[in-house]
Chain A
């Protein structure tokens, strides 16, 4: 089955810094989604991408669908303490297979 490699596994940054994380796979995906999960809650959808090369923003968040369709990137600009959480990528194939990455744990120091 498909596997997604999400990196880094964890990040410790200062408030105000920019953050970059990515997801890679050996398989091709038709859809990439990025979620944020906080303790005791389900994941919350941040950005959905549907086309290779697509770049989409949601406030301070920007995500890109890699041109090879095997990767995706998420950037957070000017991080704030409430950005703390676990960020997950999810890939969807054309035949409906959904796979989550292992997550990137983000810690923001004030």
Chain B
């Protein structure tokens, strides 16, 4: 079974530029999560989708971050405009069943904002 795919693996941009990350969850997984992991910290949940609906986006900085999950499969996370403090690893995860929270993570995208 293929795991969670993310691209790109690395991205370097200048502050005020825009960037987008892509995630393809494990086939059949209805729940998809985006996390931000700053170096030396635990992952912080940004947004959780159930199929293509948002379950929780309370920690998503909506003035600059947006996410969508069209057709309930792939998802994109966008930052516009980026700030220096957005430098982090962005992790995507998926779960087969709602409410179990057993998540399967992708390798992440390491974003550096200069």
- Count of A-B residue pairs with CB < 8 Å: 55
Binding site for B on A (CB under 8 A): 4, 6, 31, 33, 35, 40-45, 48, 88, 90, 92, 96-103
Interface residues on B, range: 20 to 34
Q: Mostly helix, strand, loop or mixed at chain A's interface?
A: strand
Name the residue of chain A whose CB is nearest to the CB of B106.
A42
Separation of A87 and B76 alpha carbons in the complex (Å): 28
- B107: Cβ under 8 A from any A Cβ: yes
Most B-side CB within 10 Å, residue of A31, A33, A43, A48? A43
Name the one of A4, A42, A90, A101 contacting B101, with C-beta atoms under 8 angstroms: A90
Q: Are A98 and B48 in contact (CB under 8 A)?
A: yes
Closest chain B residue to A32 by CB distance? B101
Taking a contact as CB atoms under 8 Å apart, the answer to whether B101 and A92 are in contact is: yes
**Contact between B102 and A44, CB atoms less than 8 A apart:** no
With a CB–CB cut-off of 8 A, which chain A residues contact B65? Answer: none
Whether B102 contacts A45 by the Cβ 8 Å rule is yes
Besides A41-B107, A48-B101, 8 more A-B contacts (Cβ < 8 Å) are: A31-B101, A41-B105, A42-B108, A45-B102, A48-B100, A48-B102, A92-B101, A100-B43
Query: Does B19 make an interface contact (CB < 8 A)?
Result: no
